[in-house]
Structure 1
Amino acid sequence: MAAHVVALLFCAYIIYIASPGTDLFSWHPTLMVLAYAVAMFEAVLVFSPHSSLIGGLSRQTKITIHWSLATLSALLAIGGLAIIFQVKENKQKFHFTSWHGLLGLITVGYSCMQLMGGASVKYYNLSSYFIKMRLADLKLTHAVSGVAAFTLVTATLMCALFSDWVSARVQGFAWYACYMAVCWVALVVMNQVTSGYASRFAPKSAPKVKR
């Protein structure tokens, strides 16, 4: 439960300082934090045996919710990317010149690819005609790719904390709290995925020989 609270507080604080609606740019941090600190984060924790908010539901229902949240995350991220692109166009500035901007572009693109990978798992009966991989291996690949996707999310959020926009609005304890929140969310996601698939990588013990 603590992970959900930390992610929610971080999201609420970013939206608070962004004040969505005050200008066009204000929607960029708002949509991006909703996309990744809420939608994608909760999509991963749907399957957590300890942190899921819907632990009592069937696995099929969890898959549907996971897919819905992942789709919502991608749509919000695309919206946030479109807004910052338009802001730069309006100000006649160059695009993706900072590490935050470049990583953000890569993260949104990778998130969309990850969504397509999830679709290939969900609709394996169709995707198996094009992807010659066992379903179990495809699920594992999707999970590992999910860790890579959230690593990109973490790097992008970290760069955002060092941006001029954040530096002008967040200082002192609040900045360090945001920094720790991003680290905590990233660790929870990585622990969830790696612990869920750790048995796949564990060395198999040799069969005992009967004497």
Structure 2
Amino acid sequence: MMGQEERYLKPEGRTGDSVALYTAITSAGVLFLFTWIIVLNNDPMSMGWFALHPTLQTLAILSFVVGILTLQPTSQPKTKAAGLQRHQLAMIIGLPSVTVGTLSIVWNKLLHESKHFTTWHGIFGIISLAWLVAQFALGAGSVWFDGALFGGGLKAKQLWKYHRLSGYVLLPLVLITTNFGGAWSNWAVGHSAYGVRFIAFTLAPLVLLASLYIRIRPSKMKFF
């Protein structure tokens, strides 16, 4: 029989949450798959280290999106704990992917003696990476070892809302960076059709962001 406590648990889902969930996952999947198809259809072995850049960056974005989505509706102890585990797993996949993806393009430029950070894609990219590292440190530090890095217990938990808000602000920056590279870079323009680039790097990110924002719970970010 259902326990007294479970019987009165507040439902986590809201109208439209499921549609927004599947729409967000589909949009992230389109971004990921189209990127990999473009790279694989253009002789990735001839690209050298560059081939790792778009593929690993979009793998990271997919991981980050899944990590965000899995925590959005949670409000009950059991689902929050399970969601946190999935969130951490997604971040553990995403951060190394985006780091290696960034290092691959840096190394590729060094090999070809090309200048760094000469485009908005490059500038926004390095800002995004630095922010991601700080975001990961804040999230991990507030959870691992009972948040000992930030004083533990409730002191550490009070940082969660800032971590959450930071993630929601950071995601558009990451997607704008992706748009600059995927839709407008010289390589992308020369190796893929405009329609493909529009769907993958403009339309999909916009739909993804809208779907993910629809699922935001403002009650989890009370600052006053």
What is the TM-score normalised by the length of structure 2? 0.77
Looking at structure 2, the residues matched to 154 and 202 of structure 1 have their Cα atoms a distance apart, in angstroms, of 26
Please state how far the C-alpha of 1:132 moved relative to its aligned partner.
Answer: 11
1:35 to 60, 85, 93: 60
Please state how far the C-alpha of 1:151 moved relative to its aligned partner.
Answer: 2.0
Contact 1:40–1:69, Cα closer than 8 Å, also in 2? yes
Which amino acid letter does the alignment assign opposite residue 210 of structure 2? L
Name stretches of at least 5 consecutive residues in structure 1 with no aligned partner: 204-211
Pairs aligned (count) = 193
Q: Does 1:68 align with 2:89?
A: yes
Deviates more, 1:114-123 or 1:26-35: 114-123
Show the counterpart of 1:183: 206
More helix as a share of residues: 2
Show the counterpart of 1:96: 117
Q: Does 1:16 align with 2:41?
A: no
Please state how far the C-alpha of 1:201 moved relative to its aligned partner.
Answer: 4.5
Describe the superposition over 1:124-152 as per-residue Cα deviations: whole angstroms up to 9, x where unpaired. Answer: 441233x8983453111011111122122
2:185 to 158, 163, 168: 163
Contact 1:35–1:73, Cα closer than 8 Å, also in 2? yes
Looking at structure 1, the residues matched to 109 and 91 of structure 2 have their Cα atoms a distance apart, in angstroms, of 27
Describe the superposition over 1:5-64 as per-residue Cα deviations: whole angstroms up to 9, x where unpaired. Answer: 22112211100111244432111100011111x111111011233xx9xxxx73212211
Please state how far the C-alpha of 1:66 moved relative to its aligned partner.
Answer: 0.3
Which amino acid letter does the alignment assign opposite residue 177 of structure 1? I
Looking at structure 2, the residues matched to 78 and 202 of structure 1 have their Cα atoms a distance apart, in angstroms, of 32
What is the CA RMSD across the aligned residues, in angstroms?
A: 2.4
Contact 1:32–1:76, Cα closer than 8 Å, also in 2? yes
Which amino acid letter does the alignment assign opposite residue 77 of structure 1? V
Contact 2:53–2:104, Cα closer than 8 Å, also in 1? yes
Looking at structure 2, the residues matched to 158 and 99 of structure 1 have their Cα atoms a distance apart, in angstroms, of 10
Q: Does 1:44 align with 2:39?
A: no
Looking at structure 2, the residues matched to 196 and 164 of structure 1 have their Cα atoms a distance apart, in angstroms, of 39
Which amino acid letter does the alignment assign opposite residue 46 of structure 1? T
Distance 1:134 1:65, change over 3 A: same
Looking at structure 2, the residues matched to 10 and 86 of structure 1 have their Cα atoms a distance apart, in angstroms, of 24
What is the TM-score normalised by the length of structure 1? 0.82
Contact 1:46–1:66, Cα closer than 8 Å, also in 2? yes
Deviates more, 1:155-164 or 1:182-191: 182-191
Name stretches of at least 5 consecutive residues in structure 2 with no aligned partner: 1-21
Distance 1:132 1:47, change over 3 A: closer
Question: Percent identity of the aligned residues?
Answer: 20
Contact 1:21–1:27, Cα closer than 8 Å, also in 2? no
